[in-house]
Amino acid sequence: MKAILEVHDLLVERGNRPILNVASLAIEEGETLAIIGPNGAGKSTLLLTLSRLLPPTRGEISFRGQSLAAQKALAYRRRIALVLQEPLLLDVTVFENVAAGLRFRHLPKGEKERRTLHWLCALGIEHLRQRRPRTLSGGEAQRVSLARAFALQPELLLLDEPFSALDAPTRTRLLQDLQNLLAETEITTIFVTHDLNEALQLGDRVAVLLNGRLRQCAPPQQVFSAPADEEVAAFVGMDTVIAGQVIASQAGQVIVQANGLHLEAVGDFATGKQVLFCLRPEDVTLWPKDHAHPSISSARNRLSGRIARLMPNGPLVRVIVDCGFPLTALITRASMIEMGLSENQAVTATFKASAAHLIPR
Amino acid sequence: MSFIWQGIQQAFRLLFGSDPEVWQITLLSLKVSGLATGLSLLIGLPLGTWLALGNFRGRSFALSLINTGMALPPVVVGLWVSIFLWRSGPLGDLHLIYTPAAIVIAQTIIAAPVVTGLTTAALQQLNPRLRLQILGLGASRTQMVIALWREARLPLLAALMAGFGSIISEVGASMMVGGNIRHQTRVLTTAIVLETGKGEFAPAIALSLILLLLAFLVNLALTWIQQRRV
């Protein structure tokens, strides 16, 4: 794999305050890099800097091995395409909107119409071609915005939270369509989002941006199950994070003492090492206290506690169990009803040693 | 009171007859104010765009100057244009005082801030991120500005209408720098002042009706263009 875009030592300041500081980042040809982070983390700033619409205070960005500073901004911008959060369509027909970027590039009429039609069809909005943007729904407008970018056949596609303003069903359909289009076209894409699921679905790699700094850049599963630090862990949904110390270590198996409990985990840490013990809520299984079966489970960790809180979350329920520390479990609403769980009830929580992730402190 | 009724009757005779002087005055008004509107568009559109999109020191000061200019009293403009064009004035050698060109200059000075200020307002009401999106689609600076003008075409036409409106009805500056010379610099407004002063209400009423009709027709045409594609 060859890097198409490389960033070194990038610093962007606003009013002498650093808002983005990326030591190193490389985007490989054909990959989709999802950049996730909470609002205000600097994601949009990074995207605007990469599209040369915001000059960095310092740093080096190179595109296909050539420094951006040595290239004409317009020539570079005509090799990429940018899609922003709001569709920002022009007050002309849908057809003319999709053709807008091609018009800027002075493409011959025939070629312009052919490509515009192709992408109108590819995004399923051919029937809207004569409509005005103000008559479109949010999802339709964002499809026009995407078609407008794809029509440019960019070498690099930059998407800034394109779905964040859409309702859930529309977002799901559009995300699926975008995934298919990216797979078909193999356009190198940087996709910015604050939604973990979008990042997991689209990203070949996921970069986590927190407070203007790149904390981790790895395949989705790795970021998801082995976050680099405590804040990344919290952001990717490791709801349970407790401080502890390794008291025994043997053949990749460790025992961590935390809050007076002994917890088993998989990892290579020396005895005495201070660690953070992290656990995803969906990896925790709950059993009623008087239930006979927990012993059948192969889970190495078994904790007793009381349900401190039940928080319904769509078809799922987030259960906070007080077992010396707050342990979060995610169960389905159906299993909550089946087990007859209620607040203050005594339960047993189990999880596998391999589910736990340790971060050195 | 009968003189009012007589005046209106005579006015219609003048209107629908073919009094060459009435038509000459009307045509001159239209030419002078049309040209001044065109010139103020040439000045105001780029200047207003620069003020709306630019990011430079003193921008808000420049904006308040323009906004003050939008309320520039025509007699003050008339005074200063007269001083500059006076035979012994700094631009006296151009021999422009008491010519239609002098009126065009004065009216341009009145209308340009109006067009500039309203152009700035028209562009500032667009979503600021639209600029980024247009550039992000590969537009050059010029293409981006043209695209923004197209987006703001309705308020931009309103700016043009306001510019024209501010000068077609203006009398002070035209009188002072044009001199209201018959067959040369007499325009509708100055003619109305003259006829009213003489107690000749019939021609004054006729000319005032023409002035209103003119303003109405020009604005009707611009409004039609403005609303055509809404």
Per-residue model confidence as pLDDT tens digits over A206-236? 999 999 999 999 999 899 888 999 999 989 8
pLDDT at residue A294, rounded to an integer: 56
Interface of A to B at Cβ within 8 Å reads 48, 51, 53, 74, 77-78, 80-84, 86, 88, 90-92, 100-101, 104-105, 148-149, 152, 158
**List of domains in chain A:** 3-232 (3.40.50.300), 239-278 (2.40.50), 280-352 (2.40.50.100)
A90:B127 CB<8 A:
no
Give the orientation angle of helix B20-53 with respect to helix B201-227, to 10 degrees: 40
What's the token pair of residue B12?
A: 């219609």
Asked whether A347 and A335 are in contact (CB, 8 A), the reply is no
For B69, the token pair is 């200019």
Contact A158 B136 (CB under 8 A): yes
Q: Give the gap in angstroms from C-alpha B217 to the nearest C-alpha of chain A.
A: 27
User: Which letter, b or e, does each residue of A232-253 get, where b requires 16 or more Cβ atoms within 10 Å of its Cβ?
Assistant: bbebbebbbbbebbbeebeeee
Question: Mean pLDDT lowest for which of A176-180, B10-14, B129-133?
Answer: B10-14
- What distance in Å separates residue B37's CA from the closest CA in chain A? 27
d(CA A233, CA A360): 12
pLDDT band at A180 (very low <50, low <70, confident <90, very high): very high
- The two most distant CA atoms of chain A are separated, in Å, by 76
Run of H or E residues at A276: strand A274-279
Complex prediction ipTM: 0.85
Sign, Cα dihedral of A226, A230, A232, A234: positive
Query: How many residue pairs bridge chain A and chain B with CB atoms within 8 Å of each other?
Result: 54
- Name all contacts of B129-134 with Cβ < 8 Å and 24+ positions apart: B129/A84, B129/A86, B129/A88, B130/A88, B131/B53, B132/A48, B132/A53, B132/A82, B132/A84, B133/A82, B133/A84, B133/A88, B134/A90, B134/A100
Give residue A295's pLDDT. 59
Report CB contact under 8 Å: A53, B139: no
How many whole angstroms from its chain centre is CA B59?
A: 25
End-to-end CA distance of chain B: give it in Å, rounded: 47
Cβ separation of B138 and A158 shorter than 8 Å? no
Task: Quick: pLDDT tens for B173-230.
Answer: 999 999 999 999 999 999 999 999 998 888 888 889 889 988 888 888 888 887 775 5
Q: DSSP for A200-263?
A: HHH-SEEEEEETTEEEEEE-HHHHHHS-SSHHHHHHTT--EEEEEEEEEEETTEEEEEETTEEE
Q: A90 vs B150: CB contact, 8 Å cut-off?
A: yes
- On average, the pLDDT of chain A sits at 92
- Dump pLDDT digits (tens) for A274-328: 999 999 999 999 988 876 565 566 778 999 999 999 999 889 999 999 998 999 9
Side chain identity at A12, as an amino acid letter?
A: V
Give the pLDDT score at B7. Answer: 78
Instruction: Tell me, yes or no, if B55 comes closer than 8 A to chain A by beta carbon.
Output: no
Residue B222, pLDDT score: 80
pLDDT of residue B203: 85
CA distances from A157 to A12, A162, A181, A283, B16 (A): 21, 12, 12, 35, 66
Amino acid letter at A126? E
- The B residues from 134 to 153 touching A (CB cutoff 8 Å) are 134-140, 143, 147, 150-151
Q: Under a CB-based contact definition with an 8 Å cutoff, are residues A211 and A41 in contact?
A: yes
